[in-house]
Amino acid sequence: MKVNYIGKISEENLPAIFVPYFLESVHAGFPSPASDYIESPIDLNKHLIKNGAATFLVRAQGQSMVGSGITDQAVLIVDRSIKPSHNSIIVAAIDGEFVCKRLKLKPRMCLMPDNPEYPPIFINHGQELEIVGTVTAAINKF
Amino acid sequence: MAIALVDCESFYASCERVFRPDLKNIPIVVLSNNDGCVIARSTEAKKMGIAMGVPWFKVKDSFLKQKGKVFSSNFTFYGDMSARVMNILEGFVPKVEIYSIDEAFLDLDTLRQNYNLYDFSCHMRILVKQWTGIPVRIGIAPTKTLSKIAINEIKRINVPTYVLQLSNKDQIRYALANTPVHKVWGVGRKLNEHLNKAKINTALDLAEVSPQNIRRKFSVVLERTVRELRGERCLSIEDDVSSKKQIVVSRSFGERVSNLETLKPIVSNFAVRASEKLRKEKQKCSKVSVFVRTSPFNKNKPQHSDLKTISLLTPTNDTRDILTAAKKALVPIFRSGYDYAKAGILLSKFSNEDSKQFSLFKDPNEPKENTEFMKYIDYMNAFETQIYFASQNTKKWSPMKQNMTSPKYTTNWYELPKVN
């Protein structure tokens, strides 16, 4: 697997005090040549969450979406403001339960697991389906 | 001129439903601290005749028998959901006054030229519902008091869009004629009795009295209400919340407390919490009051309640100073032989954190007054209390009886909602 280094990650979720990385001491001598290039550390929140007020985190259970890279206990980022389309991974409420599946609008609307061992969920007449939001990312911890 | 009042529908009950799709159409009630009274009801629970504020034990059996669902209050969660709703509203309208956890006034004046306010509000309502799961009602009217009337009308006639605009005279008259005067914003129970005696029974009756007469017979405040009902704007949207004037931390106990040694650490907890709030406001206080009281519902037991205020020579927001003062206030008002049900601390007489005023004489209490040091403690305690003061009760808060609380869905990694 090829890995691209994209930079250093911020300290968990602590928003408060960040010590800039290249802060040099003030005593004497030649100032650090890096001090002009200080940037704020990479912020996972900024990267993963576009609309904070409409974004919720949920925890995935089971293996039905492993094909999409969502393993058991993964944290899913659900943005309720993004309108899902054909093939979006969504969180929906059906029969009083939340499920995470891939939304298929054709040939017939269904909620499709990404694991051949699980059957698709078709919406029957009289059954209510409420789409809660679109899954924009999954965080799997190893 | 137009103001909109956005009002979340049965807010706490609606919050409980957001992550519980199985509770759709099921009656929900939410209880006060210690599970004492009903403080929120879903529409279904209202239809069952559950009154606001009714003691839980009175309705418990019949409510549960009818398959109702009950929750202890989960203010961490409600607070987060409220912040999301307000955040969305602030994205729509430049001037928003957050009036309470579930209500906000919006200044629509700047939008009038370019938007149809009714359509705009419908759109806003749909978006808030989709983004957060919280249903809201929106009342649009020329004044704040009339926007409250509009919200009442939405409830009364079940407006299907949950949005109502009172713009012309006839609409306003019709709404006022259908609103009993006690439902007018600012008219309390006592005032209602007086008004009824003067043959003022509906909001329309009130609006038709001349403001000058109202001022003479009642008060300036009620005169302002009358003017607002007539469409004259007296109350503006206050979007810059001026700093608080006092901070209160108080709780009813889960179990009655009758000895001082049990009460001291509880009051210490209040003092610590209140000091944290004070520092968050960037204020210092120079008055610390403590109060205790027995339960007024326990009629066959001896009753006692008292309050004592300690004045500080030097304003402070150092927890250690406030703890000392709290203890000084508590000890003389405590009396043995009483079953205390509630206690609390009140900080007042604020001054700005940055301004420093030295007293002429040396303060005999030698205040610690170390804001920097306290800030470190606040930082360390930001997510979970790590550092306690020696006099505190480390067993998390006062002994609270709450066992039906929903998870902290949005603020705790271990309590996230689950999906299959």
- Residues B238-268: tens digit of each pLDDT: 765 555 678 888 887 878 888 888 888 889 9
Which amino acid is it at B330?
A: L
What pairs with residue B340 in β-bridges?
B257, B294
Q: Are A111 and A103 in contact (CB under 8 A)?
A: yes
Nearest to residue B278, comparing CAs of B288, B268, B264?
B288
Is residue A64 in some structural domain?
A: yes
Is residue A100 in some structural domain?
A: yes
Region B174-180: mean pLDDT is 94
**Domains of chain B in sequence order:** 247-380 (3.30.1490.100)
Region B94-114: mean pLDDT is 89
Below-70 pLDDT ranges, chain A: 1-31, 35-36, 38
Which amino acid is it at A126?
A: G
Cis bond leading into B211, ω under 30°? no
- CB-based contact (8 Å) between B379 and chain A? yes
Check CB contact under 8 Å for A100 and B132. no
Is residue A46 in some structural domain?
A: no
Check CB contact under 8 Å for B133 and A132. yes
Closest residue in A to B87 (Cα–Cα): A53
- Residues B147-170: tens digit of each pLDDT: 999 999 999 999 999 999 998 899
pLDDT at residue number A15: 45
**B 15-34 near A (Cβ less than 8 A):** 19, 21-24
Nearest to residue B253, comparing CAs of B310, B199, B292?
B292
- Kindly state the percentage of chain B with pLDDT values over 70: 91
- Residues B14-42: tens digit of each pLDDT: 999 999 999 999 999 999 877 888 999 99
Query: In this complex, which of B21, B24, B419 lies closest to A60 when CB atoms are compared?
Result: B419
How many domains is chain A partitioned into structurally?
Answer: 1
Q: Is the pLDDT of residue B397 over 60?
A: no
Mutate: best of A45, A59, A135, partner B, most B CBs <10 A: A59
CATH code of residue A96: 2.10.109.10
- CB-based contact (8 Å) between B358 and chain A? no
Region B114-141: mean pLDDT is 94
Give the range of the structural domain holding residue A120, as residue numbers without chain letter: 51-139
Residue A137, Cβ density class (10 Å: 0-12 exposed, 13-18 middle, ≥19 buried): middle
The Cα B260–Cα B331 span in angstroms is 8
Nearest to residue B8, comparing CAs of B101, B141, B123, B126?
B101
Supply angle C-alpha B294, B390, B309, rounded to 5. Answer: 45
Segment holding B283, helix H or strand E: strand B283-294
Kindly report which listed range (A7-21, B81-95, B386-400) carries the lowest average pLDDT score.
A7-21
The Cα B403–Cα B411 span in angstroms is 19
Chain A positions touching B280 (Cβ under 8 A) are none
pLDDT at residue number B349: 86
Mutate: best of B85, B411, B419, partner A, most A CBs <10 A: B419
Global ipTM: 0.75
Nearest to residue B341, comparing CAs of B303, B307, B309?
B303
Nearest to residue B317, comparing CAs of B269, B378, B363?
B378
List phi, psi (to 5°) of B146. Answer: -70, -30
- Kindly state the percentage of chain B with pLDDT values over 90: 45
Check CB contact under 8 Å for A58 and B417. yes
Provide the whole-model pTM.
0.73
pLDDT at residue number A16: 46
Is residue A125 in some structural domain?
A: yes
Helix pair angle (B144-157, B220-229), 10° resolution: 60
Query: In this complex, which of B24, B379, B418 lies closest to A16 when CB atoms are compared?
Result: B379
